[in-house]
Amino acid sequence: MTDRVPIVAGNWKMNKTAGETAVLIREIWAGLQADSGNLPCEVVVAPPFTSIPAAAEALLNTTIQLAGQNLFWEESGAFTGEVSGPMLKEAGCSHVIIGHSERRQYFAETDATVKKRITAAMKCDLVPIFCLGERLEERQSGRTFEVVETQLKSGLAGTIPHDPKRFVIAYEPVWAIGTGLTATPEQAQEVHALLRIKLGDLYGKSFAAEVRILYGGSVKPSNSRELMACEDIDGSLVGGASLTSADFLGIIRSGIS
């Protein structure tokens, strides 16, 4: 058995205005309070940058935590359109998503820039949610383990996370993000188990045993219970299903009951 506390994180992507963000947070919190108000599960929401102030205000007096969807590796400077770690921290964020496949696909992020972002996040005491995962052609050619191991080692090269409880990995097979396809529990578990072994090689078995590894990729209430029952799956990074309180609460409940 492990004492890893599950995490369910909602990545709202480019959705929800400030007003819509406040409404959704109030709905989620009302649902959590109706259950018990203090569930043994960490809940994180990641709204768009423009909605972070509204989210921070709505999250006052709740146990829900706030994440940015990305950050730049410099703290300030001539980097038009970017947001730094200290800016996210001051705005009320405790976590930040790094290396999401959409960032890699559409905005040319690489393993090298992911590493810089992870280092920057830890420097300003933000918890990285480090995303990795293979594309469909990589899975079909039998390269899944090779790809995720390379992403893991490259993203962490020279980096030493000191507190395993403040470092999160999210395995998101690219072919399952927003497609309606989902890795089977067996497919997800074998990758999570591999990642934990490789983390042990890098930082020791004790460290690896405490790191939370989330699954992401078309997670919804109908499949989340089976996924989160797997030994090495410690929660989920949820996309579309986190945009409605009923679906997001259903996923939260499935992982803790």
- Residues belonging to the active site: 100, 172
**3-state DSSP call for residue 115?**
helix
Sign of CA dihedral 54, 57, 63, 67: positive
User: What end-to-end distance do the CA atoms of the chain give, in Å?
Assistant: 16
Neighbouring C-beta atoms of residue 103, cutoff 10 Å: 18
What does the alpha-carbon distance between residue 23 and residue 182 come to, in Å, rounded to a whole number?
A: 29
Please name the residues in contact with 163: beta carbons below 8 A apart, sequence gap of 6 or more. none
Work out whether the CA dihedral 195, 175, 142, 111 comes out positive or negative. negative
Residue 85 and residue 218: Cα distance in Å, rounded? Answer: 28
Q: 79-92 burial, b for 16+ CB within 10 Å, e for fewer?
A: eeeebbbbbbbeeb
